[in-house]
């Protein structure tokens, strides 16, 4: 199983343009070694560096939005699509994950990527 396979099981969710509320309130996103490697490869390919976390602001966010959006980790992808991680701005996908789906997702994540 690839990490992308796991990501593909999530409901589609689009943040409003320019919104960085969650990125500014939760600090450095948790990530596995697989995700960290993907992020570093993405940054190197774009000749970018990791920023510095400031308080509760993610090191990957700039005023325009997320600089690693295509390779953001699972926790960022869950935000807004899970009843446990609802968007504070009130944006919702067409379908939220069911708690059983989320539990299975976390199990697969732990089994395959930790």
| 8 A C-beta contact, residue 22 and residue 88 | yes
**Which parts of the chain register pLDDT below 50?**
none
Residue 111 burial (CB count, 10 A): 9
C-alpha–C-alpha distance, residues 75 and 7, integer Å:
10
At residue 8, the pLDDT reads 94
| 8 A C-beta contact, residue 60 and residue 51 | yes
At residue 101, the pLDDT reads 94
At residue 72, the pLDDT reads 93
At residue 35, the pLDDT reads 94
Whether the model pTM is above 0.85: yes
């Amino acid at each position: 199983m690839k990490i992308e396979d796991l990501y593909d099981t999530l409901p589609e969710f689009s943040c409003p343009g320019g919104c960085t509320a969650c990125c500014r309130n939760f600090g450095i996103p948790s990530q596995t070694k697989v995700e960290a490697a993907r992020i570093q490869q993405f940054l190197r390919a774009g000749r970018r560096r990791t920023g510095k976390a400031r308080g509760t602001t993610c090191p990957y966010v700039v005023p325009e939005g997320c600089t690693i959006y295509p390779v953001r980790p699972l926790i960022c992808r869950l935000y807004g699509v899970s009843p446990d991680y609802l968007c504070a701005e009130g944006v919702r996908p067409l379908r939220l994950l069911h708690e059983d789906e989320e539990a299975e997702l976390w199990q697969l994540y732990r089994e395959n990527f930790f």
